[in-house]
Structure 1
Amino acid sequence: MSTKLTTLAEAVRTLVRDGDQVVLGAGLEQAIPFAAAHEIIRQGKRNLTSVAPISDMVGDMLIGAGCIAKVVGAWMGNVSAGLGHNYRRAVEQGLPHPIAIEDYSNFTLALALWAGAYGAPYVPVRTILGSDIMASNPKILKAEDPYTKTPIALIPPLRPDVAFLSVQRAAANGDSHVWGNLGVMQEAGMAAERVILLADQIVASEVIASDPNRVIVPGFRVAAVVHTPCGQHPSPLAGHWKRDGDFFTDYHRLSREPESFQAWLKEWVFEPGSPEGYLAKLGRRVEALRIREQALSVPANYGAS
């Protein structure tokens, strides 16, 4: 069996290109692949488009590091504290450089990824009719429902170049298990041209095959698998890691000014140098975040005879 296992540095170097449209944080508030954002920053990727369905502070730090040229999404910030300071500076002051905004609601962004995943030319929806989004995003068209003759909005498909997905466990062939709040992980993974998995655990393919319903993106759609224990920190990962609320709060405070944000980048991104260095810097904090409670699901019988 061929292996797709690689290092995070190699995956980012070979699979993320300047100018790419990238999804990070498709699990909404859980399973955000922060380790991938750190590596993108370290490698100095530029002119990226961030597809941001509640990406928490991961998109904000990429903006502050100068990696992002455009945001496609509804919101960019820190769920624990509010709108991201780097995002605000880029929009209002053009610092570190101006960024473009392609506005969606969270729901219509999810529909756009769904359309990309299923090859649909558009998705009809009524929820944003009359909103400012119709005026700010010329890609969303107004049309007439051919059945009811009432107005509808047409959401175009999103087909990102790269999707980073954090999962609880994966096999070397790219099959994986993920559970908890999935957000739009499946839609993002199936819509993207290249999928990179950040796996908390690497397991035998037989483990994944034992529960196929937890596989949201089949292995043949996956370009690379990276073993990154706690690679979603400070976001949570169901059954594995708790949310590090203090880390989010500290980031929001330190990103308020460009100088203190640069100091934060140096301390938490550049000096650690790798996912392993980041874990070492977290030290005892890691064990305090590990979920120890057992709340197991009831086994499912897949027997057929």
Structure 2
Amino acid sequence: MARIASLAQAVSEVVHDGDTVAFEGFTHLIPFAAGHEVIRQRRRGLTLVRMTPDLIYDQLIGAGCATRLVFSWGGNPGVGSLHRFRDAVSNDWPVHLELEEHSHAGMANRYVAGASGLPFAVMRGYVGTDLPGQTSNIAPITCPFTGEVLTAVPALKLDAAVIHAQRADRQGNVQLWGITGVQKEAVLCASRSLVTVEEIVDELDPRPGAIVLPTWAVDYVAVAPGGAHPSYAQGYSVRDNDYYRAWDEIGRDREEFNRWLDNHIFNPAPGEVRA
């Protein structure tokens, strides 16, 4: 059964040093507030997992929280590179970052296998590419029925999954809708999970295409209005495009990034709720 707690308490219970953790969201419902709390709590040695690491992973990497990244694409969407990510890979600043790269399909299949309790997933997408030669977690497998050579990827087994959703009820049932990625699968393949939400409501009403995560599948729910900013939560907020553009200059320079950490994460101005 999900427990409703403060963001600080929920993060302290769910994300631990050395964990393999996913902060999932696909352009929408990205759990920035939870990621910022992880930085505030100075978690270290994390293996970060995500299909599309963007600004929140740049911030976690730059803050020294991560030593490994498992991913399928990384960048500042619509703008360019992630400079803290690049600095860690190229210059080991602030620490060395190990990489494991997959395709989107490879990552999605790994999530589904983990959520399904299977040891691996099988796909065609890697055949003929050079990724199997670069990534140890990709292996050929022969179909026992047709003899066709396919590719196997191991299921993702997360210590923790963190997502953002529009709302939950008072029993901890979570509802999200709009553009969804692999949030459901991330929660189901994790040992511990945290969902930040825009609000707690008395009752969830039907929404077209909505996903409902039942309370028994979630460990913690924390109310974090605007918790997806600068991404958006359909029905509650819009994407802050200026933030994404501004991040290019902030993330490019180490001193500017450290000032951002001090001013917006560790010592935010009174009343500031969306770092």
Scaled to the shorter chain, the TM-score interval is over 0.9
Is contact 1:208-1:215 (8 Å) kept?
Answer: no
Quote the residue 2:159 is aligned against.
Answer: 161
> For 1:28 and 1:211, how far apart are their aligned partners in 2?
19
Query: Aligned match of 1:77 in 72, 75, 78?
Result: 75
> For 1:264 and 1:246, how far apart are their aligned partners in 2?
16
Report deviation, 1:99. Answer: 1.0
> For 1:273 and 1:3, how far apart are their aligned partners in 2?
32
Alignment of 1:254 onto 2:250: yes
Q: How does 1:220-235 map to 2 (within 5 A)?
A: 220-235=216-231
Number of matched pairs: 275
**Other structure's SS at 2:9 match:** helix
Query: Aligned match of 2:84 in 74, 83, 86?
Result: 86
Question: How has the CA–CA distance of structure 1 residues 108 and 3 changed in structure 2, closer, same or farther, with 3 Å as cutoff?
Answer: closer
Is contact 1:163-1:189 (8 Å) kept?
Answer: yes
Quote the residue 2:19 is aligned against.
Answer: 20
Amino acid at match of 2:109: L
Whose Rg is larger?
1
Amino acid at match of 2:256: S
> For 1:115 and 1:249, how far apart are their aligned partners in 2?
36
> For 1:105 and 1:82, how far apart are their aligned partners in 2?
19
Alignment of 1:266 onto 2:262: yes
Is contact 2:2-2:217 (8 Å) kept?
Answer: no
Is contact 2:178-2:210 (8 Å) kept?
Answer: no
**Other structure's SS at 1:189 match:** helix
Is contact 1:176-1:214 (8 Å) kept?
Answer: no
Is contact 1:172-1:225 (8 Å) kept?
Answer: no
Name structure 1 gaps, 5 residues minimum.
282-305
Is contact 1:169-1:201 (8 Å) kept?
Answer: yes
Amino acid at match of 1:260: E
Is contact 1:46-1:66 (8 Å) kept?
Answer: yes
Question: How has the CA–CA distance of structure 1 residues 278 and 140 changed in structure 2, closer, same or farther, with 3 Å as cutoff?
Answer: same
Alignment of 1:278 onto 2:273: yes
Quote the residue 2:204 is aligned against.
Answer: 208
Q: Pick the structure with more strand per residue.
A: 2
Is contact 1:199-1:229 (8 Å) kept?
Answer: yes
Is contact 2:140-2:149 (8 Å) kept?
Answer: yes
Report deviation, 1:55. Answer: 3.1
**Other structure's SS at 1:117 match:** helix
Q: How does 1:1-305 map to 2 (within 5 A)?
A: 4-24=3-23, 26-204=24-202, 207-208=203-204, 214-272=210-268, 277-279=272-274
**Other structure's SS at 2:263 match:** helix
> For 1:273 and 1:154, how far apart are their aligned partners in 2?
49
| Structure 1, 58-67 or 118-127: larger mean CA deviation | 118-127
Amino acid at match of 1:6: A
> For 2:102 and 2:63, how far apart are their aligned partners in 1?
24
> For 1:174 and 1:162, how far apart are their aligned partners in 2?
17
Amino acid at match of 2:174: S
Report deviation, 1:147. Answer: 2.3
**Other structure's SS at 1:155 match:** strand
TM-score under structure 2 length normalisation: 0.94
What is the alpha-carbon root mean square deviation over aligned residues? 1.9
Name structure 2 gaps, 5 residues minimum.
none
Report deviation, 1:213. Answer: 7.0
> For 1:54 and 1:32, how far apart are their aligned partners in 2?
10
Report deviation, 1:14. Answer: 1.9
Quote the residue 1:291 is aligned against.
Answer: none
Is contact 1:167-1:200 (8 Å) kept?
Answer: yes
> For 1:240 and 1:211, how far apart are their aligned partners in 2?
14
Amino acid at match of 2:140: K
TM-score under structure 1 length normalisation: 0.85
- Percent identical: 34
> For 2:257 and 2:129, how far apart are their aligned partners in 1?
34
> For 2:125 and 2:95, how far apart are their aligned partners in 1?
33
> For 2:111 and 2:178, how far apart are their aligned partners in 1?
20
Is contact 1:63-1:90 (8 Å) kept?
Answer: yes
> For 1:57 and 1:93, how far apart are their aligned partners in 2?
19
